[in-house]
Amino acid sequence: MTQALPPEPGAYLDALRRALSDLPAEERDDLLLDVEASITEAASDSTEGLLARFGPPDRFAAELRSAAGIPLRAAPTQPESGALRAVERVVSRLGSSPIVARARLALRELAPVWWLVRGYAACAVLLVAVGGHWDLLRPFVPLFGSPELGAAIVVVAAIASVTAGFYARHHGPRGRRRTGWAALNVGLAIVAVPALIHALKAPIQSEQITLAVPPRILTPPLRVNLAPAARRSRPGSGTR
Amino acid sequence: MLRRLRAAGLSDVGDASVYGTLRRLYRGGALTTYVMPSDEGPHRRYYGITARGVAVLDDARAVWTDFSHNLNALLATPLEVPSP
């Protein structure tokens, strides 16, 4: 309700503070310190109203900004992360559009699906880290020692990922931890693409196994663990 | 400062412009400030000019003098209206 005429210095200052609400609190208070003195003084020893003297708060705030060299609706006080802030600004501007808001709501509903995929992607990363490989007969099962243990790890990872998803939704990480969390999500989303492509491949029939096609899903190329049927055949001997 | 501006005939310069400009000059290192706490009413901030500020002022004064001199000279030259 900035249209309501603020007759009191307190109300006028509040309106200014609102108009500058996108600035960091420190910067804003600093900017308003002089103004506060001037407005309080004007209110006490002047018969003309604050509006007549200073004009509407919104316009006053805009003038203050432009004279101070602060871009409209932006907070340029952290130059070390200027690019990041620019991205944030674009994202926040996009976020205010109704279509994006609806899409976000839909994505929020679908988030648990992503959490499951994320758990799976984490397994893929772990598999590569320990130098393991995928089950050839069931390409979606990572072999951590045995297929049974691999399947168990996938289930545990999925549960952990979903739990983490719900936890982050209710007690969202803040500040730098939030950036780290987002980076982790992006990383796993990138890993998830080849992992899912691999997992959704048709299982290889033992008759088809030759040594020529190692299932590469990630670089560096994995060593191929051949199914028991193939293991007995010697390299280069082809299908039995 | 506002009174001086008004007295000099620059009545269109608003409070916000003055405070914003002071802020910008301060950030640019042209001014120093200190805050004087006050028992009654809000705290007051006082500004002082730095050596850098003096240099900026001299520079700006030279640019303005040069510019206004040239423009005055240009405007003082009567227009040559081509005769039809």
Per-residue pLDDT of A26-78, as tens digits, reads: 888 888 888 888 888 777 766 677 888 888 888 899 888 888 888 766 444 45
- Examine the predicted complex and report whether its ipTM is higher than 0.85: no
With CA atoms as reference, the chain B residue closest to A69 would be: B24
With CA atoms as reference, the chain B residue closest to A58 would be: B16
Q: Which two tokens stand for residue A165?
A: 């998803």
Which of B20, B22, B43 lies at the smallest CB-CB distance from A63? B20
Instruction: Determine the residue among A12, A28, A32, A34 to mutate to test chain B binding: the one whose Cβ has the most chain B Cβ atoms within 10 Å.
Output: A34
Q: How far apart are CA A178 and CA B73, in angstroms?
A: 62
- The pLDDT of residue A240 is 47
Evaluate if residue A80 carries a pLDDT over 80.
no
pLDDT band of A204, cuts 50, 70, 90: low
CB contact under 8 A, A40 and B17: no
Taking the CA atoms of A47, A53, A56 and A61 in sequence, report the sign of the dihedral they define. Answer: negative
| Chain centroid to CA A192 | 16
For residues A177-186, average pLDDT: 82
- The pLDDT of residue A7 is 60
pLDDT band of A120, cuts 50, 70, 90: confident
For residues A203-217, average pLDDT: 51
Q: Which amino acid is at B37?
A: P
Residues of A near B (CB-CB distance < 8 A)?
30-31, 33-38, 40-41, 53-55, 60-61, 63-69
B48 CB-near residues (< 8 Å, 6+ apart): B31, B32, B33, B34
Evaluate if residue A79 carries a pLDDT over 60.
no
Burial-class residue A95 by CB neighbours within 10 Å (0-12, 13-18, 19+): exposed
Share of chain A above pLDDT 70, in %: 72
Burial-class residue B22 by CB neighbours within 10 Å (0-12, 13-18, 19+): buried
Among A77, A36, A24, which residue's Cα sits nearest to residue A60? A36
pLDDT band of B35, cuts 50, 70, 90: confident
Evaluate if residue A223 carries a pLDDT over 60.
no
- The pLDDT of residue A2 is 42
Lowest mean pLDDT segment, chosen from A31-35, A62-66, A159-163, A226-230: A226-230
Q: Does B6 touch chain A (CB under 8 A)?
A: no
Evaluate if residue A218 carries a pLDDT over 50.
no
| Orientation of helix A25-45 relative to helix A9-19, angle to 10° | 150
- The pLDDT of residue B60 is 94
Q: Which two tokens stand for residue A64?
A: 């203050």
Torsion angle, alpha carbons of B31, B37, B42, B45, to 10: -10
Closest approach of B29 to chain A, Cα-based (Å): 13
Q: Does B24 touch chain A (CB under 8 A)?
A: yes
A35 CB-near residues (< 8 Å, 6+ apart): A13, A16, A60, A64, B15, B16, B19
Burial-class residue A39 by CB neighbours within 10 Å (0-12, 13-18, 19+): buried
Evaluate if residue B80 carries a pLDDT over 90.
no
First to last CA, chain B: 53
For residues A71-99, average pLDDT: 68
Which chain B positions have a beta carbon within 8 Å of A35's beta carbon? 15-16, 19
